[in-house]
Amino acid sequence: MSSRDHSAFFMTMLVGMPVSKATTTAHSEATARRKRMRVAALGLLLFVGPVACVTPAPPPGMTPGAAYRVGAPDELLVSILPEPVIERTVTVRPDGQISIDLIGDVQASGLTTEEIAEEVRIKITRYKRDASVTVTVLAAESDTITLFGEVRNPGTFPILHDIRIAEAIGQLGGTTHFASRRYVRVIRSDGKKTEVIRVNLTKIQSGDLSTNIQLMSGDIIVVPPTTLAKIGYFLQQVFFPFQPIIQTGGSYGAITNLPGLGGAP
């Protein structure tokens, strides 16, 4: 091999090796970048995908409203025609009856206003021919719910129409700052069995209405305190046993003056 051939051979070795190594390194880096991009895209898809695809759950269906049945201590207006008109405002007694002039006691509890009117008409017929009787509910006090715990206005309140739990708590002033909004309970009893229903007010506020249940007469709503609030109440009782528990809600003395749920503000 001549000296020129030797020079060419060494030049090829010196130049070729760095070029080959650089090409390999660049290819490896490009491959690694593509892998990182694929992993990042997959991670973004897994993170964003569920959020983008989740549809807020609708609220449970409402039970079709049945005709209102009177109970104690509802207040009624009884009107009897023709002339002379008899109009009486009566309150359903604990025994479920009302008293009307001329005819005495009439069963009212458990009946609709139309059924009460028919009972009155039948009894008044001996004194008034072709009598027309109407019965109107002036104050519905028999269908009630009870609300207590970390709420601004605890107490017992009448239900004036179909209402859901979030609406009811909102109308009564809402929860306090110490409320454990994720663990609200509704205690419901039909006289034979008792059911405890979990309600998550935090999810309801975020658009998940799956626990925004319709309230029924007799429901007891319990809004518990958070764990930190429980600790605070315990420490207060230990170190200041003769001081009342701190109340952050509204006036507790005005409970009985609040309107019924669904009524005018």
Q: Is 199 part of a structural domain of the chain?
A: yes
pLDDT in tens, 134-174: 999 998 888 889 999 999 999 988 887 789 999 999 998 99
Residues 128 and 39 grouped into a single domain:
no
123 & 178 share domain: no
Query: What distance in Å separates the CA atoms of residue 224 and residue 19, rounded to the nearest whole number?
Result: 73
**Co-location of 168 and 115 in the same domain:** no
Give the per-residue pLDDT at 68: 80
Query: In terms of Cα–Cα distance, which of 29, 130, 35, 144 is closest to 83?
Result: 130
In the chain, the amino acid numbered 256 is: T
Non-local CB neighbours of 183 within 8 Å, separated by 6+ positions: 198, 200, 224
Burial class (CB in 10 A: 0-12, 13-18, 19+), 169: buried
Spatial contact of 102 and 127, defined as CB atoms under 8 Å apart: yes
Q: Would you call the peptide bond into 84 cis, given omega within 30 degrees of 0 as the criterion?
A: yes
User: Same domain, yes or no, for 40 and 87?
Assistant: no
- Look up tokens 């109009």; give the residue: 87
One domain for residues 164 and 251? yes
pTM: 0.58
Q: What is the pLDDT of residue 162?
A: 83
User: Rounded mean pLDDT of 69-75?
Assistant: 89
Q: Is residue 210 part of a domain?
A: yes
Rounded distance between C-alpha atoms, residue 60 and residue 214, angstroms: 8
Say if residue 153 is in the same domain as residue 127.
no
Number of structural domains in the chain: 3
What would the mean pLDDT of 66-90 be, rounded to a whole number? 88
The parent domain of residue 210 ranges over: 144-257
Q: Among the three residues 93, 117, 139, which one is the final residue of a domain in this structure?
A: 139
State the Cα–Cα distance between residues 156 and 168, nearest whole angstrom: 12
Mean pLDDT of 184-208: 92
Chain-centre distance for alpha carbon 168: 7
User: Cα–chain-centroid distance for residue 169?
Assistant: 7
pLDDT tens, residue by residue, 206-260: 999 999 999 988 899 999 999 999 998 888 888 888 776 554 443 333 333 344 5
Q: Are residues 81 and 44 in the same domain?
A: no
Write down the H helix ranges in 140-239. Answer: 165-171, 201-206, 227-239
pLDDT at 130 over 60: yes
Specify whether 104 is located in the same domain as 171: no
Q: Is residue 70 part of a domain?
A: no
Residue 69 included in any domain: no
Q: Could you tell me if 223 and 161 lie in one domain?
A: yes
Segment 32-40 mean pLDDT: 68
pLDDT at 8 over 70: no
Confidence of residue 261 (pLDDT cuts 50, 70, 90): low
For the chain, what's the residue count? 265
User: In this structure, is residue 202 part of a structural domain?
Assistant: yes
**CA 209 to CA 199: how far, in whole Å?**
10
Give the number of C-alpha atoms closer than 13 A to the C-alpha of residue 21, restricted to the C-beta side: 6
Q: Are residues 120 and 225 in the same domain?
A: no
Give the pLDDT of residue 15.
44
